[in-house]
């Protein structure tokens, strides 16, 4: 299997480290690009400076509570773009606010996972992202 290109949009460095560790534990070849805010994510997805010529991700893991531009706006941009809407987007957030959840559903996120509070459950949550990804490969939902 080819290396998976993952775009992780997350401003909490602890969550970034845990997510990277969980991906390492999968033993699946992956390249994780980490961006810390929604504005930077939009520049990346638009291939604006300094992201000219970047490879588009196979999977996007997106937090909702981001500085500058929130994750809901990034999600709306992705799903409204003919070039990007095929990309699988997993919302991985601590938000459990009903309004956020409805907006995420309306924006057609591919998968939603609430970040666990307990460290012991964090790797299980990341494992569910892996399961989503592997199932999308089998069903062909991530094809361009």
| Domains of the chain in sequence order | 4-132 (3.40.50.2300)
Buried b (16+ CB within 10 A) or exposed e, 119-142: eeebbebbeebbebbeebbeeeee
Q: pLDDT tier at 137 (50, 70, 90 boundaries)?
A: low
Would residue 68 be called left, alpha or beta, if left means φ above 0 and alpha means ψ between -120 and 50 degrees?
A: left
CA neighbours closer than 13 Å in the CB half-sphere of residue 38: 17
**pLDDT per residue as tens digits for the range 7-57:** 999 999 999 998 888 888 777 677 899 999 999 999 999 999 999 999 999
**pLDDT per residue as tens digits for the range 73-127:** 999 999 999 999 999 999 988 777 677 677 777 778 888 888 877 777 877 777 7
């Amino acid at each position: 299997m080819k290396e998976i290109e993952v775009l992780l949009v997350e401003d909490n460095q602890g969550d970034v480290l845990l997510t990277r560790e969980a991906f390492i534990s999968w033993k699946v070849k992956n390249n994780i690009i980490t961006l810390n805010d929604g504005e930077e994510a939009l520049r990346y997805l638009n291939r604006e400076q300094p992201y000219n010529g970047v490879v588009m991700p196979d999977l996007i893991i997106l937090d909702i509570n981001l500085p500058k531009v929130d994750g809901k706006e990034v999600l709306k941009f992705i799903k409204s773009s003919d070039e990007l809407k095929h990309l699988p987007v997993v919302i991985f957030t601590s938000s459990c606010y009903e309004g956020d959840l409805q907006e995420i559903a309306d924006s057609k996120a591919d998968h939603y996972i609430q970040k666990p509070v307990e460290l012991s459950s964090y790797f299980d949550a990341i494992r569910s992202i892996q399961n989503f990804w592997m199932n999308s490969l089998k069903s062909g939902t991530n094809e361009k």
